[in-house]
Amino acid sequence: MQSSENPPLEIVMNGLMRRYQERVPDVNIILDAMVDEGIIPDTGNIENDHIAFRTLGVPHLGIASFEKIFLHYGYQKRDYYYFEGKKLDAYWFSPPEPNYPRIFVSELRVNELSQESQSIIRSYTSEVKSDPVDSLDLNNGEAVDAFLHQPLWRTPTLSDYLTLLEESEYAAWVIYNRYYLNHFTISVHNLPEGYNTVAEFNEFLEKHGIKLNNSGGKIKESPDGGLLQSSTVAQMLEADFANGEKHMISGSYVEFAERRVLPEYAELPADQIQRQHRRDGFEAGNADKIFESTYTTQTGK
């Protein structure tokens, strides 16, 4: 049944964030510390800069399928990004209203993997016989929320997961986690002074024992200096594989973004600065390193 109280997009976002918070202990550690230190009055006072999803480039799935959900809710497809080393394509999507987060969706170029990895991936994804989004009622927020948290294929075996992990940590993450929210992002530029830069916020995080991704440095900065990002290292979760096997795998993580005011708005008083006055979009060089928040080079430290 569709709830009449909230629009479908609100229901979907709330469902994504609820499950993500349950599954990523760092989220509540960070939010509680922010309230305790008086940075924010309550956890509802955070601007979510963007959320991110990972997909596989195979028939009936990938960005072409996934984007139908959010395009339906008024999101607009923006810039394309290519990550050669990781064999990924990605797009970002701008929200229908500024109170919603941007969305970043990436897709693995499965055809560029080894035959062994392709065969493993397709042995699972071939269970999807048609685009699953086409049979969803996108006006039913509860149904879409449920879809984003349900398996699209059987639970992988541990040996398949580990084989994929050796060639593509991204592939291994998606074969197990599917559409689980990969991360959400705190907009630090809207926080009070002393916490409103990534550099200052990183200090706050480390003071509270949060481990940061240091691939390419703890702060990732766009060449134009307008977008600075950092992220936690994904926490390891015990995962249940096929045949009752268990193994510790990377879960999701938290990201932090500082979007600086564009040069043409440099003279605007601080209390008049809105989202449209700041650097928008993403930066491939930054994102390339942020992806590694779930990689063993980071989680194994």
- Number of Cα atoms under 13 Å in the Cβ half of residue 284: 13
Q: Which helix (H) or strand (E) holds 106?
A: strand 102-108
Render 207-218 in DSSP notation, one character per residue: HTT--B--TT-S
Nearest to 64 by CA among 113, 131, 123, 112: 131
Whether the CB-CB separation of 161 and 172 falls below 8 Å is answered with yes
Whether the CB-CB separation of 276 and 289 falls below 8 Å is answered with no
Q: Please write the tens of the pLDDT for every residue from 107-158.
A: 999 999 999 999 999 999 999 999 999 999 999 999 999 999 999 999 999 9
Q: What share of the chain is helix, strand, coil (3-state, %, to 5)?
A: 40, 20, 35
The rounded distance, in Å, linking the Cα atoms of 283 and 248 is 31
Mean per-residue pLDDT, 160-167:
98
Count how many residues are written for the chain.
301
4, pLDDT greater than 70: no
Q: Please write the tens of the pLDDT for every residue from 22-47.
A: 989 899 999 999 999 999 998 888 89
pTM: 0.94
Alpha helix stretches (DSSP H) within the chain:
8-23, 25-36, 62-72, 115-125, 141-148, 158-167, 169-177, 198-207, 284-290, 296-299
Q: Which of 1-5, 81-85, 270-274 has the highest mean pLDDT?
A: 81-85
